[in-house]
Amino acid sequence: MAKTTAVTKPTAAQATAQANSWGTQSWQTDSPLFTIDDPISNLTKLAPYKKSEDKKGHSSPLQAWFPKDMMRRVSKIKESGPYTTNGDVARDAMWIGMMVLELRYNSDPEWILFQQLTRLNNDALWMAAMFEEEDEFVDQLDSFCANKEEDTAVEMLVGRFNLLVGSGNQRRKDALVDSVRKHRLSHLLEKCNVR
């Protein structure tokens, strides 16, 4: 039976403190301030997010073009709310919007499927790049062998195997062995004591 842990909701003060420190954290996919079961009105209780720098004074620009009617709305909110600049309004809107996007990201079946497909696609691209890179390396070994530099080829192959074994990347080591065999250079594997 799985162990369960009680989750307590933060107080308003904790939520505000969290909101004020959020810019220093990495991307969250499970907002501690707002869950799918919370009423949307809870977002209005958060203090406005207006920070433009993290604790170390770092910041990054984010530029986007908006229709003029949206800019009028931003100006109107700035003038009638607790904001000093249009940037304050944009930061607060982004802060609240990110929490809503996180909920969508974690609860919408289409988004979940998209995440899984993206992950699989990235894995496939990584694998294809890995095989291509190992093939290019083995092409170089083949060139050394063709130029009667087999000892150099063996030395390079041993060095690469040592790096891959040291990194613990068995998948890449297997790709290298397959590429060597595909290029009909299995005799190099025997000289490296690799089977």
Q: Where are the domains of the chain?
A: 64-107, 111-191
Structure tokens given for 166: 């040291």
**pLDDT in the model for residue 150:** 93
- Burial (CB < 10 A; 0-12, 13-18, 19+), residue 161, is middle
**pLDDT in the model for residue 13:** 47
What pLDDT, in 10s, does the model give residues 113-170? 888 899 899 999 999 999 999 999 999 999 999 999 999 999 999 999 999 888 988 9
User: ∠ CA(92), CA(41), CA(73), 5° rounding?
Assistant: 45
Entry pTM: 0.47
Dist CA 45 CA 37 (whole Å): 16
Q: Which of 154, 127, 151 is nearest to 138 (CA)?
A: 154
**pLDDT in the model for residue 1:** 41
CB atoms closer than 10 angstroms to residue 77: 16
